[in-house]
Amino acid sequence: MSWSKLKQHLESFLCPALNGRVEYRATSYRYLPDKAGHCYIAVDKKNLLNMSDATTLIRWYQTELEIKNDPDIQIPINNEEIEAMRKDTQGRVPEDRLKVIVRSRKITEHAKELLSAQSALSKSDFIVAANKFLSVSIEESIESNDILLNILALVDRRVGKKRILNMSDKMKLKHPIVQYFYELRRSTL
**CB-based burial, 118-147: b 16+ in 10 Å, e otherwise:** beebebebbbebbebbeeeebeebbebebb
* pLDDT attached to residue 186: 93
Average predicted confidence (pLDDT) for the chain: 83
Highest mean pLDDT among 62-76, 102-116, 150-164, 170-184: 150-164
d(CA 179, CA 34): 33
Quote the pTM value.
0.70
Give the residue among 43, 24, 38, 8 at the shortest CA–CA distance from 134: 8
- Reported confidence tier of residue 30, pLDDT bands at 50, 70, 90: low
What percent of the chain lies above the pLDDT cut of 70? 85
Tens digit of each residue's pLDDT (9 = 90 or more) over 113-169: 776 666 667 777 788 889 999 999 999 999 988 888 999 999 999 999 999 999 988
